[in-house]
């Protein structure tokens, strides 16, 4: 790892009117915002640290840590709601008007929602699984059910079971990874935030609100998305099954889809080199505007 990328492992801080946002930075060039997913022990650094050497050759990579996951200062808002506001505070605080965005799972949803709300500020958008509704597969999916089991009664075995549902090759889930995730996932504040997202009561309440709401879900508005978009997905995803990509693929005006075989939810980790080649080809293509 270069000196610059070694330095990227050091957290930077941006003081805002709603607390400190922490982030990692590597590379020079056009700004590229990387948004992490959810789940026990997740951070932006753990999601994307392996991809920074390739991406930082072309972009100024900014890996934002969302509030509620144990790195940036927490808020009293639901983590999904807090995440979109954090993106605005972060980019405004750094004086960045227009960026490219990569979002993994929850980060992809946040990226889509932010691009819908700020159509002039996202040039190109890459999602990694997770966007769209379940059309052919049951909901919640297997991986989400395992996540709920963990947050309701956290044990190392439940954590390991959930982590293995994230990948096609279970050998990728090492004891080191389990230990790293366990330490953060069981922090009381982080666990409380996870329960607000994935506890049984939270899941039931979210379903009830969706059924009663007169506001269309974000995926019903994808036909208005202005950003040129690349959807990436693992064919063997057990957290957000690949049929979820069908509606975004059909309704986003300027969209491409790449599905990786022998790959679960963590495409950027499990198919690292292939994913990086695909994403960089999309982000650096001269016809992308």
Taking residues 68-73, what's their average pLDDT?
Answer: 94
β-bridge pairing 19-26 and 60-64 = antiparallel
pLDDT of the residue at 182: 96
Q: What is the pLDDT of residue 288?
A: 47
User: Would you call 36 a catalytic residue per the annotation?
Assistant: no
Q: What is the mean pLDDT of residues 39-50?
A: 94
Round to whole Å and give the CA distance between 271 and 93: 34
Q: Is the pLDDT reported for residue 2 higher than 70?
A: no
pTM (two decimals): 0.94
Give the model's pLDDT for residue 210.
79
Using 50, 70 and 90 to split pLDDT, how confident is the model at 203?
A: confident
Kindly indicate the confidence band of residue 213, based on its pLDDT and cuts at 50, 70 and 90: confident
Q: What is the pLDDT of residue 93?
A: 98
Q: Is 44 exposed, middle or buried (0-12, 13-18, 19+ CB in 10 A)?
A: buried
Average confidence (pLDDT) over 221-226 = 98
Q: Which residues make Cβ contacts (< 8 Å) with residue 192, sequence separation at least 6?
A: none
Which of 83-92, 147-156, 280-289 is predicted least confidently? 280-289
- pLDDT above 50 (res 18): yes
Overall average pLDDT of the 157-180 stretch: 96
3.30.750.24, 3.40.50.1820, 3.50.50.60, 3.40.640.10: CATH of 3-137+217-284: 3.40.50.1820
Residue 289 scores a pLDDT above 60: no
Question: How many C-beta atoms lie closer than 10 Å to residue 74's C-beta?
Answer: 17
Q: What is the pLDDT of residues 81-134, one digit of tens each?
A: 999 999 999 999 999 999 999 999 999 999 999 999 999 999 999 999 999 999
pLDDT of amino acid 1: 43
- Of 78, 97, 118, 265, the active-site residue reads 265
Domain range annotation of the chain: 3-137+217-284
Instruction: Tell me the pLDDT of the chain averaged across its residues.
Output: 93
Helix (H) or strand (E) holding 15: strand 12-16
Of residues 48, 43, 204, 225, the one with CA closest to residue 139:
204
What is the torsion angle, in degrees rounded to the nearest 10, for the CA atoms of residue 181, residue 186, residue 191 and residue 197? 30
Per-residue pLDDT, 207: 80
The rounded distance, in Å, linking the Cα atoms of 271 and 283 is: 18
């Amino acid at each position: 790892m270069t000196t610059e990328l070694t330095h990227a492992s050091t957290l930077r801080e941006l003081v805002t009117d709603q607390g400190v946002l922490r982030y990692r930075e590597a590379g020079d060039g056009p700004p590229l915002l990387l948004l992490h997913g959810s789940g026990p022990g997740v951070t932006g650094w753990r999601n994307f640290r392996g991809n920074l050497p390739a991406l930082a050759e072309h972009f100024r990579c900014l890996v934002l840590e969302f509030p509620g996951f144990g790195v940036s200062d927490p808020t009293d808002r639901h983590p999904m709601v807090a995440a979109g506001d954090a993106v605005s505070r972060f980019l405004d605080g750094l004086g960045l008007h227009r960026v490219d965005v990569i979002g993994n799972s929850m980060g992809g949803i946040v990226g889509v929602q932010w691009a819908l709300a700020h159509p002039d500020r996202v040039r190109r958008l890459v999602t990694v699984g997770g966007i769209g509704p379940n059309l052919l597969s049951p909901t919640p999916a297997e991986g989400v059910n395992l996540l709920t089991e963990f947050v309701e009664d956290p044990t190392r075995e439940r954590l390991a079971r959930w982590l293995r549902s994230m990948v096609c090759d279970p050998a990728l889930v090492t004891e080191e990874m389990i230990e790293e995730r366990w330490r953060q996932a069981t922090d009381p504040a982080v666990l409380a935030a996870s329960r607000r997202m994935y506890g049984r009561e939270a899941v039931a309440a979210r379903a009830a609100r969706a059924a009663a709401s007169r506001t269309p879900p974000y995926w019903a508005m994808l036909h208005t998305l202005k950003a040129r978009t690349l959807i990436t997905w693992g064919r063997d995803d057990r957290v957000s099954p690949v049929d979820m990509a069908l509606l975004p693929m059909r309704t986003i005006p300027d969209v491409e889809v790449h599905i990786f075989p022998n790959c679960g939810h963590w495409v950027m980790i499990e198919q690292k080199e292939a994913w990086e080649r695909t994403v960089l080809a999309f982000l650096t293509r001269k016809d992308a505007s």
